[in-house]
Amino acid sequence: MEDGISVLADFDSALFEHEEPPLVSLYLPTHGRAGAEEDRIGFKNLVEEARGKLAQEFAHREHTGVDARLDEAAARLEELASPAPGGSLAVLAGNDRTYVYQLGYEAGPHAFVGERFYLRPLLKNFAFGSRYFLLGLSADRFAFVHGDFGSLDRVELPAHVLDEFSEEFPLVYDGTEGALDYSSLENHLPPYHGYKSRNDVRKEEAEKFFQHVNKVVTEYLVQGTELPVILVSLPEHQTAFRRISTVPRLLNEGIEKDIGGMEAPELLADAKAVIEHVREARADELLEKLGDTAPHGGGSTDLSAIGLALVERKVRALFVAEGAYIPGGFDEETGEVFLFEREPHGRFQGPELADAFARAALAQDAEVFELAPEKIPGDSGMAALYRY
């Protein structure tokens, strides 16, 4: 992208904390290439809404750069938006720079204007498992796939890895592309090539193969990432591979199916279900710890106490009720919380406390969970578990 627009995948508080207001946050559900014209009109409407708010709250000279940034984003909308339907585009624009997130889930349409970017619709994008790897494995094939909320993309094996497999497993790898690695996921995941039946692969050869797959994944394919890995294979291969695996962040729950016989939509749905199960279990585990430790100062549901804990950088996990709207904010130097009177119909018109808390929690590498309101203890709509 040009210098004025940065397409981001991760949260980096340093990028946002020093942006000078006014700041515009736009969230547009997108419909893929087939809905490009609909998206263009929708984005134009959001820009007009944002400009109306800018005119009401700021002098014209304060947002001339923002106006130019919005024009640039509108002109490049088709380039910036994901070609896959069912996602969203987040555009965060200031006078000097625009930050873009391509989200794999629906968010918006929203147009926010204020002194800070509104990041709460991005929470799901930063949650555990928003991006992940799939390791598809059989006795004589494997595939490594990168996934998110809406898409799957095969990870190409390095050339030297293919050469190494050719030498180590001459009966398994015949030198043709796809003999080890599954073919493209653009349409579906095809079955095995059939030049050598899986039934002909002896158990000891399969175990040797698993050892080598484990080495390749550990040393080459997950290096430098913190993403979870989901194993996709039949139950007998799940057991055998897990017995020898040293793959970091390999999830205990896998998909017990032959990846070669699955089409991409089924694989994506199963992967998202695994992530949701793991995420729910993680939230329940931390909520239980909150229940045990809160009476002894290990957490709180009191908004003022949470604000102070965030300033002290001791929040381990923040829990926010889905749909909670708490007009207000907090002083990031003192932790003092201030609340505003709720506007008619709960419309968002200004700073919102859950957004401010979430931004501060993410900046200190805390986990942030948006959960059903009934799962949040207390009656404030938020809760925090402390590190100590």
Domains of the chain: 5-123 (3.30.960.10), 132-279 (3.30.420.60), 297-386 (3.30.1330.30)
Mean pLDDT of 361-365: 90
Confidence of residue 253 (pLDDT cuts 50, 70, 90): very high
Confidence of residue 126 (pLDDT cuts 50, 70, 90): confident
Mean pLDDT of 186-203: 43
Contact 46, 29 (CB under 8 A): no
In whole angstroms, how far apart are CA 29 and each of 18, 45, 116, 129?
A: 28, 13, 22, 21
Q: Is 185 exposed, middle or buried (0-12, 13-18, 19+ CB in 10 A)?
A: buried
Confidence of residue 3 (pLDDT cuts 50, 70, 90): low
**In the predicted model, is pLDDT for residue 360 greater than 60?**
yes
Contact 277, 253 (CB under 8 A): yes
Give the position of tokens 């509108």: 74
The dihedral built from the CA positions of residue 330, 285, 287 and 314, taken in this order, carries a sign that is: negative
Mean pLDDT of 110-116: 90
149-158, 165-174, 205-214, 379-388: segment of lowest average pLDDT: 165-174
Confidence of residue 262 (pLDDT cuts 50, 70, 90): confident
pLDDT at 182: 41
Rounded (10°) angle between helices 64-75 and 36-57: 180
**In the predicted model, is pLDDT for residue 28 greater than 70?**
yes
Instruction: Report the percentage of the chain scoring pLDDT > 90.
Output: 55
pLDDT at 1: 44
pLDDT in tens, 325-355: 888 889 989 999 998 876 555 454 557 899 9
Distance CA(255)–CA(370), nearest Å, equals 25
